[in-house]
Structure 1
């Protein structure tokens, strides 16, 4: 279904408003409450030695990062989205963390939409941005248009988001996912940045992860159930009397949890990096996911809420997350993130 610019902007405003509604959250379903790290009473280190720095390495080039925390993709393409992205990009610039941009779908048909990123880049020239396009749009779009999405953001990588439930429940949804695997494989061959495949909150099965094995992708962000549930968000965009609202209630807890998705990835033994997101709310949960094998961990809703309150709130949030991660590492006897990944977890 074709949308006008005003309809697109209204949809994106709806997404922000409803995503912040507690009814759209699958709190407690990410599985992280069941994961326990083993306490080390005698760490044999100075807390100052704990190092949460990491890097983003592709084809031999390494981008240094202050931590494994990244800002998960949220919104783009409307005035409020621009303000949010500018604030988040400034944080990425100042603190050298990765930032996923919101869907760049609008740019495929409206070249003026790329101006948003020119404004962002003026304020945050050193931000480490990750471009973003949906699989349904990738399937239908010429590769040169997709390349322009990378160019417009000066992205260091490109997210391909998979969202079948969201598209099925969205009134304007694009529901043709046929040939998606081929589209991903072709894209990897045609762009000069790493491609990261991500869900939007419903996770990954072992079988799907295995199907992605031969595509040449750089990473998968499992983005499991446990945070903002886009099936719920789309349902709440419809009126209670409408069919999509009623059907969305049936699927309100659909998905594979963040923890189960991570366990699926470990069992699948895939050759690409595994990133994690989905209901991550604090640095202890980030530490648990790193211990489960996540190379990077995404946080969305807390950053969205903080961005609405300005740069100071964003700095405070990131400081809190990083301190919590450092304490997690100190109390497990882990000097580095690599050490943390060797620690035993119980479930």
Structure 2
């Protein structure tokens, strides 16, 4: 969709459309309203940077990252940059808030910067259902599944989030814990959070243990502060808890601080299990028990998939193996640490 298409659809000249989109005077309110309605219908935005670009030889890949405190994403972005620059592409990195609409952001970015493809780190499935059809360049959801969305130019690379979370809960149950709290993201807007939550439910159900979400589940953003504040709430309302599973390592780190501030010890009083396997977890005391995602492989498969799709291949959906790392932050209910 270009300015000529907008003009044809709206029923006005290209010059009139240009004046409306550039907010120039001399256009009737009726024409302005019609042009803007048409532009909005097709998600068309004026390309303010077009004069700086030569589309024929401008080779760029965009990375859109939701949130600034996700250590997993930081590690993956670092590796993606290396792969992108090695292939002689420019790398356009954009950080947006967790609550922002990454698809609408991508639509504007495509019109302004014209990347050959986009890598999404962090995504709201609903936004893709609503607006991704307006995006025509190949895209990859990194560390997230895209298979269920069914777009021919949207790939996904991730681990089995449901099975990984299930193993985390089973690990704690085998250690004798029954009063287990969970800190995660929004199950309405985050596909990984939803899958991990379903894994949690499966683990409790298969073990014959009741799970009360209103008591035992706390939803927050994927950050240390989110984990810290959520753990404080859980300790206040769920005094029986002896363990917590956090759906990211940064959440787990925040939770551990809240436990200590409450005068309790990890793991003697509260066992903590995280998810991601970021580097800092090995340097905590005690070291963090966690689900480790293969960060290098996620970055490599995501980039290679995008390159193949830019060359004309259809979307592919890759499921990578995870590993469970038993370390010092989880212990048997009697307080004995489980170390490597």
**Both proteins in one fold, TM over 0.5:** no
Q: Which has the larger radius of gyration?
A: 2
TM-score normalised over the length of structure 1: 0.28
